[in-house]
Amino acid sequence: MREPRMVYLIGVDHLVQYRGPLPETIREEFLSYILDCCRTYRIRTIAEEFSEEALREVYHSDSDTAGEAARILGIEHRFCDPEEEDLRRLGIPYFAEIRDDVMKRRGIATSFILDNELRASIRRETEQIARTYWPLREQFWYKRIQDALTHPLLFICGHEHVEGFTRLLESRGHDCLILSKWWRSELFSNYELIGL
């Protein structure tokens, strides 16, 4: 019998992807969820929207949840998000760079903005511009996993990417199953519920 070549997707809040400010019990619950999914669907590769560079230099963490799961299971793990060199080559700016451009265009010279409404408006505009680069990032992820799509693969990404990345995979002829569009959304839609 031929092994299914399905791509399974889990959408997350990025806080669960590393040991950081999130209560460890929630991260451990996510680790257990990954392990259960991998065993149930006979996953042979865990890939994620994350990079080793971000883990070490941005989040200052020594522990990647998906990488831990892969080590426990003895399967392959892949970081798929572009690192700084890749971002520069692809012409994808960092979120902070986009925000700085938005503020500069608005004539705002300070990074500390007291006006909540103005701060929210800048954030919305920055997010809207950042989204225009998502297809480039998602194509980069696809290239990082393309050779592993001959066997069941689990892909973990930010919940806002799940549908777009699924469409990209399906347009390339791959079967997909979304296991969770946004894992534990009831917690992560309100950080106060998890003490953050």
Q: Please write the tens of the pLDDT for every residue from 12-53.
A: 999 999 999 999 999 999 999 999 999 999 999 999 999 999
Strand, coil or helix: what is 8?
strand
Q: Are residues 153 and 65 in the same domain?
A: yes
Q: Where does the pLDDT of residue 156 fall: very low under 50, low under 70, confident under 90, or very high at 90 and above?
A: very high
> In terms of residue numbers, what domain contains 113?
93-132
Write the CATH number for 81.
3.40.1010
Residue 180 lies in a domain: yes
Q: Are residues 41 and 82 in the same domain?
A: yes
Give, rounded to a whole angstrom, the gap between the first and last alpha carbons of the chain. 48
Tell me what pLDDT residue 4 has: 52
Distance CA 183, CA 98 (A): 28
Determine what percent of the chain is predicted with pLDDT higher than 70.
98
For the CA atoms of 131, 20, 159, 71, the dihedral, rounded to the nearest 10 degrees, stands at 120
Task: Tell me how many domains the chain contains.
Answer: 2
- Where does residue 8 rank: exposed (0-12), middle (13-18), buried (19+ CB within 10 A)? buried
Strand, coil or helix: what is 155?
strand
Q: Are residues 108 and 126 in the same domain?
A: yes
Radius of gyration of the chain (CA): 18
Residue 80 lies in a domain: yes
Q: Are residues 78 and 158 in the same domain?
A: yes
Distance CA 190, CA 186 (A): 7
Q: Are residues 124 and 152 in the same domain?
A: no
Largest CA distance in the chain: 64
Residue 43 lies in a domain: yes
Distance CA 116, CA 157 (A): 30
Q: Are residues 71 and 154 in the same domain?
A: yes
Whether this prediction's pTM lies above 0.85 is answered by yes
**What is the DSSP secondary structure assignment for residue 125, as one 8-state letter?**
H
Q: Are residues 22 and 64 in the same domain?
A: yes
Residue 154 lies in a domain: yes
Q: Please, what sign has the CA dihedral across residues 126, 132, 138, 143?
A: negative
